[in-house]
Amino acid sequence: MNEGNTFPDDDTLLLELDRFVHELDPPPDDLVERVQFALALEDLDVEVARWDRADALTGVRSVAQGTITFTVSDLTVMINLTETGQRHRIDGWLVPEGQYTVEVRVAGHDSFTTVADDGGRFVLNDVPSGTTQIVVYIGGESCRRTIVTPAVVL
Amino acid sequence: MRGGTQQNRDLDAVLALHRKANDTAASAHNIEAIRLLRKALRLIDAKAAPDAAWVAARIRVLISLALATSEVGSTAKGFRGLRRAQAHLEQLPEGRSKQELQAVISGQRALLLFRVGRLAESLALFNAIIPTLEGLQSEDGLLLARTMTNRAQIHAEMGNVDAAARDFDRAIALAAEHGLARIEGKARHGLGDLAQLAGDIPGALHHYEEAARILESAAPGWLARVRLDQARALLVAGLAREAARHLDEALPDLRRNRVIQDLAEAKVARAAAALLEGDYDLARHLAVLARRRFLRRGNKPWAEVAALARLRADATEVLESGATPPPRLPSSLLRVSDRLAELGLRDETAAARLLAVRLLVRRGALDAAAEQLAKVPKPRRTSPVDHKMLLRLCRAELAVAAGRPRSALAQARAGLTELGSARDRMGGLDLLCGTAVHGQELGALAVGRVLAGARGQQGARRLLAWQERTRAQVYRYEPLPAIDDPVLARYLTEMRHVQRTVQQHRLAGKPVAALESRYAWLQREASRLGWYTSRWGRPRPVCSPEEVAQRLGERTLVSLVGHADSLAAVVVRDGRFSLVRLGSLSEVVETARQLHADLHALAPDQLPAALSAAVSASARRRAALLDERLIHPLAGLIGDTELVIVPTGSLHALPWPALPSLRGRPLSVAPSATVWVAAARAGRPEPVVLVGGPGVPGAVGEVRQLRAVYPSARLVDGEAATSETVLSALEGSGVAHLVAHGAHEPGNALFSRLDLVDGPLFAHEAARLSNPPERVVLAACELAMSHIRPGEEALGFAGALLASGSRTVVGAVARVGDSAAAQAMTDLHHSLAAGLSPAVALAEATAVDPLRRPFLCLGAG
């Protein structure tokens, strides 16, 4: 068709540009899955906890995997992972302590829910591997808060 | 002139194609190699003038083509190709080139003879050409090195292990001299196979790792085969996850390169790994795919082995779940068993039928089970011990189901005795599916029966006797120490080899009678040479309850018994035996896991105060709960005496000193009462060895500080702390203090390791010390841990040391903080140096802060 014409119409140009950008800088493979995973949270009015990097907690004589700590304003969630075959066991501690509902969401699986004891201690057994997020529900109907950790791949 | 130059250029092009094809074939890309070689032949046909260089080039191309086509097609084609090459050889004048090409043709013919199993002819050809090649002394050394590697393979196949090792070593030396990386990699792969044959799994893994490192760049296509053999060695060692990882790396390459037999065998091995890991779906899927491949290749024996692997996954899953098996499952197993019998695969036939019997018993079809059991062929000398255990287990389960518990116990007793006298797992991985658990199942069945009926003193005594009988078997599965008598060692090596060859021959449909009689002869000779009196694999003598009671003196023994969901303890004090039932096993195990996680989380020295307070509170609460469940019911029996605790399964890692009523009380934890009795002798206090490994903050400071406590101690740290130096320093020492990172290996405790500057020191190696240290302190990591998975009784690094003769091992059962560990160790050594016993010294050291000093005294304190 437009033989010799180096400037096609705008639509074609934009399409080409789109293709070009997609080729040079494609979105991460799991982006869609991660977005869907995040959107699937029923209550979007959440506080996202920060992941405290482990180097603040060094001084341990072990090369084994340690614990992961998340904090948001006044709440700290610490978890310890133990591999059990293909799955995981999560031991967790909430500070300040309280009998809060704790949910673990793993992409592609049903979520698991438990309630921490009055010392803020909880255990989630038999958690499958994958993109994982922990959700803590604090308080009653009126002043309910939902705290989520960043999604980590376990 | 100009024509001549063009001619040379064409010849160069042909030779370049040939080189490229050889490199391609050496990386197992045969299809591509054939394409290149055909192209080279076309160039020769088009341009060749009949001078010697062109004839030689044609011969070389024809030889390579023969090899490549035989790899992907038939060996008959290969032989035909070599005859063509030989015919062209006549055109060459006598001389060096002709001699060399003749050697190459003969060498390749020898290789093909090897491929079709004509081993003696093959070896004779190699023996004939190697002197010629040595005489030619070619510059690159490649031909000689390659021929050496090939002859080594044949020696290995024929069981001439020493000769094979010599040839491989020679090839490695030539490779080093001439820079032949690929040859070195393949020779190291061969040395790995030899070590595996001899049952030296760590040695095999070492060679495979070296080979993989070299071949990764020198011949990437070969890497997959190394990974397959490496995975098989890992499966023998019970390291299912590692094996799976290697196979997952190898499978895509094998698929791409169309090495169908290897690919299908790799799938069977991967299925075995999946089965060991409890991933039944994956095991089934892979076994089905492998079977299809074997069928397509017309390899019936392997196809049936794959069929059995699939049904084994089904059977194991249903047996584990406790559900009633569907009727089709035993029927399918019986049909496979019949087909395996027709193929002459005796052990597999038995395995399939025995699995069917277990399923029939579970279904309550006792008559049918008994009928099938009667048809199982009697095990022979070469049957793997696992199969003998499976047979006993079937008989015992049938007896239980038929209401004959006495008979079941008799079967268990006989089976465990057999296990003790079967000096080695000669069978290893023959069936590519782990059945090593049968001894444990047999033991658990017996303990369960005895526990159910135990009453009074006599019942408690009897239970302890059975526990010791079943616990001691863990030690019988250990790889064996080196043998001093070289003749005996050679016989045993050959026995392992013959046993494996018998298995391979059955798979290949070849006769085995001659090999079996050779095996019988070897066994007689080995016995004559004192096999039964050597250190090799002699079962640890099991202590009688009376002997245990007598050796305890003032101490009290608490031996835990876990069966199904019940937990009980046998308590021995002042010669009296008591049985106390402690309630639910799973509740105690779960609480212990939570406490373990608490201590783990609490370990870092710089944990924020709020977290530390919350986790400490959780730990204290759980420790109190365990105290109430485990210790309060025993309080009247144990008083305030020093304790010897024999835990069970997942309670091996329990931090006993953290329980409030045991705080500050001297106690030892032992894998069995027998081990404790063996360890409870007076030790030598000198010499003292202090080892500091890399990467542990404060390690150097700690070991150096301990010099103040032990002024004459030998210090091994920094760059000097290699595994060899450390092992030799440990030999014959009185006290060894080791500060080094390490890792507990859940799959196989003997591969637990201590990280030193030159790499890991395996528990396996420590267990081979002829004179291990009397007392060992492991001041880092979780090396006192045994196992977390329920139901397993594996030992850890510490356990391996105890098994080899160390009396006491102090180690942590959870993570510890740097400064917490250093302080605990300083306290401990001050007390030890002052003459306190390890149990008393450690009790004082941990009492200061039990939650952050989770150390245990293992063995005899």
Q: Are B756 and B724 within one domain?
A: yes
CA distances from B156 to B129, B165, B192, B195 (A): 19, 8, 11, 11
A110's CB contacts (< 8 A; 6+ apart) are none
Q: What are the tokens at B541?
A: 């003598």
pLDDT at B748: 61
Q: Which of A7-11, B59-63, B362-366, B593-597 has the lowest mean pLDDT?
A: A7-11
Do the domain assignments include residue B564? Answer: yes
What is the chain A residue with the closest CA to B600? A66
Domain encompassing residue A60? 43-153
Q: Are B626 and B582 within one domain?
A: yes
Half-sphere exposure of B684 (CA within 13 A, CB side): 12
Do the domain assignments include residue A11? Answer: no
pLDDT at A141: 63
Q: Which helix (H) or strand (E) segment is B802 a member of? A: helix B797-804
Q: Whole-angstrom Cα distance, residue B426 to residue B480?
A: 12
Q: Whole-angstrom Cα distance, residue B794 to residue B745?
A: 10
Do the domain assignments include residue A93? Answer: yes
Burial B153-178 (b: 16+ CB within 10 A, else e): bbbbbbbbbebbbebbebbbebbeeb
> B780, A62: Cβ pair inside 8 Å?
yes
pLDDT at B291: 93
Do the domain assignments include residue A17? Answer: no
> B788, A76: Cβ pair inside 8 Å?
no
pLDDT at B532: 39
Mean pLDDT of B104-122: 87
Residue of A52, A57, A60 to mutate, interface with B, max B Cβ within 10 Å: A60
Q: Which residue has the higher pLDDT, B216 or B780?
A: B216
pLDDT at A29: 77
Mean pLDDT of B564-584: 95
pLDDT at B365 over 50: yes
- Across the interface, of A56, A84, A91, the residue whose CB is closest to B597 is A91
Do the domain assignments include residue A22? Answer: no
pLDDT at B476: 41
Q: Whole-angstrom Cα distance, residue B74 to residue B444?
A: 52
Least Cα distance to B59 among B39, B85, B33 occurs for B85
pLDDT band at B429 (very low <50, low <70, confident <90, very high): very low
Q: Are B741 and B852 within one domain?
A: yes
- The percent of residues above 70 in pLDDT, for chain B, comes to 86
Do the domain assignments include residue A137? Answer: yes
Q: Can you name the residues that pair with A48 across neighbouring β-strands? A: A148
**Domain total in chain B:** 2
Q: Are B603 and B731 within one domain?
A: no
- Across the interface, of A60, A82, A121, the residue whose CB is closest to B603 is A60
pLDDT at B307: 95
Q: Are B622 and B712 within one domain?
A: no
Q: Can you list the pairs that A33-42 forms with residues at least 24 positions away whose Cβ atoms lie under 8 Å?
A: A33/A107, A33/A131, A34/A107, A34/A131, A34/A151, A37/A105, A37/A107, A37/A131, A37/A133, A37/A151, A38/A151, A40/A105, A41/A105, A41/A135, A41/A148
Q: Are B843 and B698 within one domain?
A: yes
Whether B589 and B650 have beta carbons less than 8 Å apart is answered as yes
Whether B763 and B752 have beta carbons less than 8 Å apart is answered as yes
| DSSP state for residue B779 in the 8-state scheme | -
pLDDT at B475 over 50: no
Interface of A with B in 98-127 (CB under 8 A): 119-121, 123
pTM: 0.73
Whether B267 and B273 have beta carbons less than 8 Å apart is answered as no
Q: What are the tokens at B532?
A: 């039964």
Using a 10 angstrom Cβ sphere, with 0-12 exposed, 13-18 middle and 19 or more buried, the burial of residue B565 is exposed
How does the average pLDDT of chain B come out, rounded? Answer: 84
Do the domain assignments include residue B254? Answer: no
> B790: cis peptide before it, omega within 30°?
no
Q: What are the tokens at B609?
A: 């105060």
Dihedral, B308, B309, B312, B316 alpha carbons, nearest 10: 180
Q: Are B713 and B786 within one domain?
A: yes
- Across the interface, of A61, A89, A119, the residue whose CB is closest to B621 is A119
pLDDT at B3 over 90: no
CA distances from B816 to A66, B155, B593, B657, B779 (A): 11, 51, 16, 15, 9
Which of B661, B689, B710 delimits the end of a domain?
B661
- Across the interface, of B590, B610, B696, the residue whose CB is closest to A61 is B696
Query: DSSP secondary structure string, B27-78?
Result: TT-HHHHHHHHHHHHHHHHHH--SSHHHHHHHHHHHHHHHHHHHHHS-HHHH
Q: Which of A80-84, B607-611, B851-855 has the lowest mean pLDDT?
A: A80-84
For the ranges B23-27, B229-233, B558-562, the maximum mean pLDDT occurs at B558-562
Least Cα distance to B169 among B155, B150, B153, B149 occurs for B149
B347's CB contacts (< 8 A; 6+ apart) are B383, B384, B387, B427, B430, B431, B503
Q: What are the tokens at B630?
A: 């485990």
Number of H helices, E strands in chain B: 36, 14
pLDDT at B2 over 60: no
Amino acid at B190: G
> A69, B788: Cβ pair inside 8 Å?
no
B511's CB contacts (< 8 A; 6+ apart) are B505
Do the domain assignments include residue A86? Answer: yes
Which of B661, B688, B718 delimits the end of a domain?
B661
Mean pLDDT of B597-623: 93
What is the chain A residue with the closest CA to B696? A61
Least Cα distance to A109 among A134, A86, A85, A132 occurs for A132
Q: Whole-angstrom Cα distance, residue B238 to residue B746?
A: 9
pLDDT at B335: 96
Strand-strand pairing, B855-859 and B753-756: unpaired
A83's CB contacts (< 8 A; 6+ apart) are A89
Q: Which residue has the higher pLDDT, B253 or A37?
A: B253
pLDDT at B746 over 90: no
Query: DSSP secondary structure string, B263-325?
Result: HHHHHHHHHHHHHHTT-HHHHHHHHHHHHHHHHHHT-HHHHHHHHHHHHHHHHHHHHHHTPPP
For the ranges B352-366, B377-391, B808-822, the maximum mean pLDDT occurs at B352-366
Q: Whole-angstrom Cα distance, residue B532 to residue B539?
A: 10
SS3 content of chain A, % helix, strand, coil (to 5): 20, 40, 40
Q: What are the tokens at B633?
A: 């019911």
Q: Whole-angstrom Cα distance, residue B259 to residue B253?
A: 9
pLDDT at B401: 94
Do the domain assignments include residue B177? Answer: no
Q: Are B723 and B845 within one domain?
A: yes
Looking at beta carbons, which residues of chain B come within 8 Å of A80?
597, 600-601
Q: Are B737 and B790 within one domain?
A: yes
> A93, B600: Cβ pair inside 8 Å?
no
Do the domain assignments include residue B692? Answer: yes
CATH of the domain at B578: 3.30.420
Q: Does A56 touch chain B (CB under 8 A)?
A: yes
Q: Are B642 and B736 within one domain?
A: no
The model's pLDDT over B767-823, given as tens digits with 9 standing for 90+, comes to 667 788 999 998 866 555 544 333 333 456 787 788 778 899 998 888 888 888 888
**Domain total in chain A:** 1
Do the domain assignments include residue A143? Answer: yes
> B606, A56: Cβ pair inside 8 Å?
yes
Q: Can you name the residues that pair with B859 across neighbouring β-strands? A: B808
pLDDT band at B540 (very low <50, low <70, confident <90, very high): low
Q: Whole-angstrom Cα distance, residue B278 to residue B217?
A: 35
Do the domain assignments include residue B52? Answer: no
Least Cα distance to A134 among A152, A108, A110, A115 occurs for A152
pLDDT at B428 over 70: no
pLDDT at B285: 96
pLDDT at B612 over 80: yes
pLDDT at B745: 67
Do the domain assignments include residue B163? Answer: no
CATH of the domain at A93: 2.60.40.10
Using a 10 angstrom Cβ sphere, with 0-12 exposed, 13-18 middle and 19 or more buried, the burial of residue B686 is exposed
Which residues from B are below 8 Å from A when comparing CB atoms?
277-279, 590, 593-594, 597-598, 600-601, 603-608, 610-611, 614-615, 617-618, 621, 695-697, 741, 743, 755, 779-782, 788-789, 812, 815-819, 821
pLDDT at B617: 97
Looking at beta carbons, which residues of chain B come within 8 Å of A78?
601, 611, 615
Which of B661, B689, B718 delimits the end of a domain?
B661
pLDDT at B437: 53
- The percent of residues above 90 in pLDDT, for chain B, comes to 43
Q: Are B601 and B745 within one domain?
A: no
SS (H, E, C) B580-636: EEEEEHHHHHHHHHHHHHHHHHHCCCCCCHHHHHHHHHHHHHHHHHHHHHHHHHHHH
SS3 content of chain B, % helix, strand, coil (to 5): 65, 10, 25
Whether B416 and B396 have beta carbons less than 8 Å apart is answered as no
What is the chain A residue with the closest CA to B593? A91
Mean pLDDT of B298-302: 84
**Interface predicted TM-score (ipTM):** 0.80
Using a 10 angstrom Cβ sphere, with 0-12 exposed, 13-18 middle and 19 or more buried, the burial of residue A82 is middle
pLDDT at B496: 61
pLDDT at B692 over 90: no
Q: What are the tokens at B781?
A: 């990591």
pLDDT at B558 over 90: yes
> A93, B818: Cβ pair inside 8 Å?
no
Per-residue pLDDT tens, chain A, 154 aa: give them: 445 566 778 888 888 888 888 888 888 777 777 777 776 666 667 788 887 766 544 566 655 556 888 888 888 999 998 877 678 899 999 999 899 999 998 888 888 899 999 999 999 998 988 888 899 998 766 667 888 888 877 7
Q: Whole-angstrom Cα distance, residue B160 to residue B179?
A: 28
Q: Can you name the residues that pair with A101 across neighbouring β-strands? A: A115, A137
Q: Are B745 and B657 within one domain?
A: no
The model's pLDDT over B257-293, given as tens digits with 9 standing for 90+, comes to 777 778 888 999 999 899 888 889 999 999 999 999 8
Q: Whole-angstrom Cα distance, residue B210 to residue B188?
A: 7
Q: Can you list the pairs that B280-283 forms with residues at least 24 positions away whose Cβ atoms lie under 8 Å?
A: B280/B313, B280/B314, B280/B316, B280/B317, B283/B309, B283/B310, B283/B312, B283/B313
Domain encompassing residue B809? 680-859
Do the domain assignments include residue A6? Answer: no
pLDDT at B594 over 90: yes
Do the domain assignments include residue B610? Answer: yes
Do the domain assignments include residue B46? Answer: no
